[in-house]
């Protein structure tokens, strides 16, 4: 994979570890990070060697402390919309990836950082993780999908509270609200994410991609999630992996999925 200036990538046994690498700026998402994330996503979509993905931040302090505020100065309404549109496109691409993507939240996940974590399919937090959408303190609202994904994840009441107060919450509170799936010790964070991805990627890959698509159908306007599930169930039944999965069960052996 090509070298990036703001992102580190490491592919081991089918799992791609992406590290946002701007530790001195608490991994804030400037335009380059967003562009490079987009390029890595193209690679994730097209490279069959990549089975699952972890996104984390460099250093002990931050996952991502938000969009890069230094790039906000003097921005016009049109430029603001364009910035938000770009972020939406990239985060939608994370969400709609057929390959599982886990956020390993290793510290501050504020603003765009919290939005990045929420765009991932699963969030595992270290004990020192902190979450929040402090945009109102700057006179703006979340622009990378935060108002929508937070409401989907934790419900309207608590989402409105966090979005309007700009309050930061710790990992235990985030777990209680359902914002994160699990909280682990910092030293165990990446291994926990890897173990979860190994479990998921040992399943039939086509079925995993259809689970993702079917669940997100619930949130897409004009789409009936139940109809989507019926359609995608049928598609799974037509795969070689379905034949293999059922044969393996009946023959009392472990299935060997070919991803077909
Ligand atoms: N954009 C740009 N730079 C940021 C940043 C952001 N979102 N978050 C942190 N940084 C930079 C700081 O400016 C500082 O850079 P400097 O050393 O060149 O001055 C460096 O990262 C370290 O941050 P600092 O504020 O000194 O660390 P801290 O431990 O005192 O505070 C935070 C940590 C996360 C509480 C604080 O950095 C913060 O509030 N960041 C902004 C969070 C935010 O509003 N995000 C939403 C943006 S839309």
64 lines ligand 1 (CB under 6 A): no
Query: Ligand 1 pocket: which of 27, 66, 106 to mutate (most atoms <8 Å of CB)?
Result: 66
Query: In sequence order, what are the residues at sequence separation of 6 or more whose Cβ sits closer than 8 angstroms to the Cβ of residue 246?
Result: none
pLDDT at 51 over 90: yes
Q: Which of 169, 184, 201 is the last residue of a domain?
A: 201
Nearest protein CA to atom 20 of ligand 1, as residue: 25
Same domain, 223 and 173: no
Q: Which of 201, 223, 241 is the last residue of a domain?
A: 201
Same domain, 14 and 103: yes
Rounding to the nearest 10 degrees, give the CA dihedral for residues 211, 219, 52, 145: 180
Percentage of residues in the chain with pLDDT exceeding 70?
100
Query: Tell me, what CATH number does 73's domain have?
Result: 3.90.226.10
Mean pLDDT of the chain: 97
* Average pLDDT of the residues in 193-213: 97
User: Can you tell me which atom of ligand 1 is nearest the CA of 168?
Assistant: 35
| Element containing residue 12 per DSSP (H, E) | strand 7-12
Q: So what's the pLDDT on residue 86?
A: 97
Same domain, 221 and 195: no
> Is 256 inside a domain boundary?
no
Same domain, 132 and 246: no
Q: Is 192 helix (H, G, I), strand (E, B) or coil?
A: helix
Q: So what's the pLDDT on residue 167?
A: 98
Q: Which of 177, 201, 225 is the last residue of a domain?
A: 201
Same domain, 228 and 127: no
Same domain, 176 and 225: no
The answer to whether 145 and 114 are in contact (CB under 8 A) is: no
pLDDT band at 256 (very low <50, low <70, confident <90, very high): very high
> Is 255 inside a domain boundary?
no
> Is 70 inside a domain boundary?
yes
The answer to whether 84 and 144 are in contact (CB under 8 A) is: yes
> Is 197 inside a domain boundary?
yes
Known catalytic residues are: 115, 135
pLDDT at 116 over 90: yes
> Is 61 inside a domain boundary?
yes
Q: So what's the pLDDT on residue 26?
A: 98
Q: So what's the pLDDT on residue 1?
A: 84
* Average pLDDT of the residues in 214-228: 95
Same domain, 176 and 234: no
pLDDT at 136 over 90: yes
pLDDT at 231 over 90: yes
CA of residue 30 to ligand 1 center, whole Å: 13
69 lines ligand 1 (CB under 6 A): yes
What would the two tokens of residue 219 be? Answer: 């949130």
28 lines ligand 1 (CB under 6 A): yes
* Average pLDDT of the residues in 178-195: 98
pLDDT at 43 over 90: yes
125 lines ligand 1 (CB under 6 A): no
Pairing of strands 7-12, 15-20: antiparallel
Pairing of strands 7-12, 169-170: unpaired
Nearest protein CA to atom 44 of ligand 1, as residue: 134
User: Can you tell me which atom of ligand 1 is nearest the CA of 68?
Assistant: 1
> Is 196 inside a domain boundary?
yes
pLDDT at 147 over 90: yes
Separation of alpha carbons 199 and 178, rounded Å: 21
CA of residue 171 to ligand 1 center, whole Å: 19
| Full domain range(s) for residue 219 | 205-250
Phi, psi of 99 (to 5 degrees): -100, 140
Q: Comparing C-alpha atoms, which of 34, 135, 137, 170 is closest to residue 92?
A: 34
> Is 1 inside a domain boundary?
no
Number of domains in the chain: 2
Same domain, 132 and 211: no
pLDDT band at 40 (very low <50, low <70, confident <90, very high): very high
Query: In sequence order, what are the residues at sequence separation of 6 or more whose Cβ sits closer than 8 angstroms to the Cβ of residue 74?
Result: none
Residue 104 β-bridge partners: 124
* Average pLDDT of the residues in 51-60: 98
Same domain, 108 and 235: no
Separation of alpha carbons 63 and 108, rounded Å: 5
134 lines ligand 1 (CB under 6 A): yes
Nearest protein CA to atom 34 of ligand 1, as residue: 65
Confidence (pTM): 0.97
Q: So what's the pLDDT on residue 208?
A: 98
Same domain, 237 and 131: no
pLDDT, one tens digit per residue, over 77-113 is: 999 999 999 999 999 999 999 999 999 999 999 999 9
Q: So what's the pLDDT on residue 95?
A: 97
Separation of alpha carbons 132 and 112, rounded Å: 9
> Is 21 inside a domain boundary?
yes
110 lines ligand 1 (CB under 6 A): yes
Checking phi first, is residue 141 left (phi over 0); if not, alpha (psi -120 to 50) or beta?
beta
* Average pLDDT of the residues in 233-257: 96
* Average pLDDT of the residues in 199-214: 97
* Average pLDDT of the residues in 44-70: 97
Same domain, 105 and 217: no
Chain-centre distance of CA 101, in angstroms?
5
Separation of alpha carbons 95 and 101, rounded Å: 8
Query: In sequence order, what are the residues at sequence separation of 6 or more whose Cβ sits closer than 8 angstroms to the Cβ of residue 99?
Result: 44, 50, 51, 52, 53, 205, 208, 209
Same domain, 156 and 63: yes
The answer to whether 40 and 18 are in contact (CB under 8 A) is: yes
Query: In sequence order, what are the residues at sequence separation of 6 or more whose Cβ sits closer than 8 angstroms to the Cβ of residue 93?
Result: 38, 41, 45
């Amino acid at each position: 994979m090509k070298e990036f200036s703001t992102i580190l990538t490491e592919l081991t046994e089918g799992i791609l570890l992406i590290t946002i690498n701007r530790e001195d700026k608490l991994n804030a998402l400037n335009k380059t990070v967003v562009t490079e994330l987009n390029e890595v996503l193209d690679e994730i979509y097209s490279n069959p060697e990549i089975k699952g993905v972890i996104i984390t931040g460099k250093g002990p302090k931050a996952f991502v402390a938000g969009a890069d505020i230094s790039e906000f100065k003097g921005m016009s309404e049109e430029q603001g919309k364009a910035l938000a549109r770009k972020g939406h496109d990239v985060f939608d691409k994370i969400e709609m990836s057929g390959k599982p993507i886990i956020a390993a939240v290793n510290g501050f996940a504020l603003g765009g950082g919290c939005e990045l974590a929420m765009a991932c399919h699963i969030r595992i937090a270290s004990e020192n993780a902190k979450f929040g959408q402090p945009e109102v303190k700057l006179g703006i609202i979340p622009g990378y999908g935060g108002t929508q994904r937070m409401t989907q994840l934790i419900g309207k009441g608590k989402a409105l509270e966090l979005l309007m107060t700009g309050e930061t919450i710790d990992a235990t509170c985030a777990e209680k609200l359902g914002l994160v799936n699990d909280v682990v010790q910092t030293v165990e964070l990446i291994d926990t994410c890897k173990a979860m991805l190994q479990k998921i990627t040992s399943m039939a890959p086509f079925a995993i991609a259809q689970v993702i698509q079917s669940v997100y159908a619930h949130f897409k306007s004009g789409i009936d999630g139940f109809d989507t599930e019926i359609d995608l169930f049928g598609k799974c039944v037509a795969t070689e992996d379905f034949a293999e999965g059922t044969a393996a069960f009946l023959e009392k052996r472990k299935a060997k999925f070919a991803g077909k």
